[in-house]
């Protein structure tokens, strides 16, 4: 498989008036085209900061990042970022919310509009195109947020705990929905999550970070059948073994 993303010795230091605070130290990993990678680690270890660096939203103190062989030095149209909340504007319809990033990026072409309509139809939201966010369930809004992220056809999706605002039952269903969409659209994804079960159920590989300053403590290739949905993966006999293993690693690294 082709390598799409590469982090080389990424470090991040926060500067205050009194001191320097190391947040990330020499983090290196790569992601292959079509992979689904999860990043887990102790609370406050810098997981989201790594996503922000990949997205070009904050500048690393040291190291380099490459997307498709090109160094990332600023926000890229080839990267889509899905946040913890859907962040849909309540005064815009679902259709207008989805088109907004295309307008901002000057990518609101007939081809991209047709593609968003195709996604809305394919994933059961087309009939809600003229509805407002408050008229949709939490799960439907997250699907709309993902379609908005996919509208510009990014090569890489960054997912920052996108299910954390949902109740448990909805979270399981939306996790299945989002995984299906990403898999069907053949997208590469990096997920940051504090939920071990979520990481196991969705990932090809899991990167475990140490406590701050974050380093790569371990990397795992998840052996559970990748053809299964996230919900079905949770029923696999090996799921509990993976959970216990990752729990121990996080416990060893807690602050």
**pLDDT tens column, 181-195:** 899 899 999 999 999
Q: Is residue 117 part of a domain?
A: no
**pLDDT tens column, 111-120:** 889 999 999 9
DSSP string, 60-73: -SEEEEEETTEEP-
The token pair that represents 141 in the structure block: 């809004």
The neighbouring-strand residues paired with 158 are 81, 190
Q: What is the pLDDT of residue 226?
A: 86
Q: What is the pLDDT of residue 255?
A: 57
pLDDT classification of 167: cutoffs 50, 70, 90:
confident
pLDDT classification of 165: cutoffs 50, 70, 90:
confident
Rounded mean pLDDT, 7-35: 91
Q: Is residue 20 part of a domain?
A: yes
Q: Is residue 122 part of a domain?
A: no
pTM of the predicted model, to two decimals? Answer: 0.92
Percentage of the chain surpassing pLDDT 90? 60
Query: Domains in the chain: how many in total?
Result: 1
Q: Is residue 81 part of a domain?
A: no
Look at residue 167 and give its three-state secondary structure.
Answer: coil
- For residue 239, what is the domain's CATH number? 3.40.50.300
Q: What is the pLDDT of residue 242?
A: 96
Q: Is residue 143 part of a domain?
A: no
Contact yes or no for 185/150 (Cβ under 8 A): yes
Q: Is residue 219 part of a domain?
A: yes
The token pair that represents 86 in the structure block: 């859907």
Q: What is the pLDDT of residue 84?
A: 78
**pLDDT tens column, 197-248:** 999 999 999 999 999 899 999 999 999 998 899 999 999 999 999 999 999 9
Asked if the model's pLDDT at residue 77 lies above 90, the reply is no
Rounded mean pLDDT, 44-63: 91
Distances (CA, A) of 38 to 15, 27, 81, 120, 164: 28, 15, 14, 26, 15
The neighbouring-strand residues paired with 15 are 20
Rounded mean pLDDT, 102-110: 86
The whole domain housing 30 covers 1-76+186-255
- Backbone φ and ψ for 184, nearest 5 degrees, come out as -65, -40
Q: What is the pLDDT of residue 59?
A: 92
Q: What is the pLDDT of residue 39?
A: 96
């Amino acid at each position: 498989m082709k390598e799409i993303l590469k982090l080389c010795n990424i470090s991040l230091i926060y500067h205050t008036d009194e001191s320097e605070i190391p947040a990330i130290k020499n983090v290196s990993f790569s992601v292959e085209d079509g992979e689904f990678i999860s990043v887990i680690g102790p609370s406050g270890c810098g997981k989201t900061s790594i996503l922000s660096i990949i997205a070009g939203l904050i500048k690393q103190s040291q190291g380099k990042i490459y997307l498709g062989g090109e160094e990332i030095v600023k926000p890229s149209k080839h990267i889509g970022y899905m946040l913890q909340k859907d962040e849909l504007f309540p005064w815009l319809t679902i259709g207008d919310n989805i088109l907004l990033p295309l307008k901002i990026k000057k990518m609101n072409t007939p081809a991209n509009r047709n593609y968003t309509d195709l996604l809305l139809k394919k994933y059961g939201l087309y009939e809600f195109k003229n509805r407002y966010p408050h008229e949709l369930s939490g799960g439907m809004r997250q699907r709309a947020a993902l379609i908005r992220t996919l509208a510009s056809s990014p090569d890489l999706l960054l997912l920052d705990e996108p299910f954390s605002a949902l109740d448990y039952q909805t979270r399981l269903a939306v996790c299945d929905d989002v995984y299906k969409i990403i898999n069907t659209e053949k997208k590469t994804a990096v997920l940051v999550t504090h939920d071990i079960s979520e990481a196991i159920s969705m990932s090809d590989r899991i990167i475990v970070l140490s406590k701050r300053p974050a380093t790569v403590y371990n990397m795992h290739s998840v052996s559970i059948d990748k053809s299964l949905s996230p919900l079905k993966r949770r029923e696999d006999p090996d799921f509990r073994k993976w959970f216990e293993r990752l729990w121990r690693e996080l416990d060893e690294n807690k602050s």
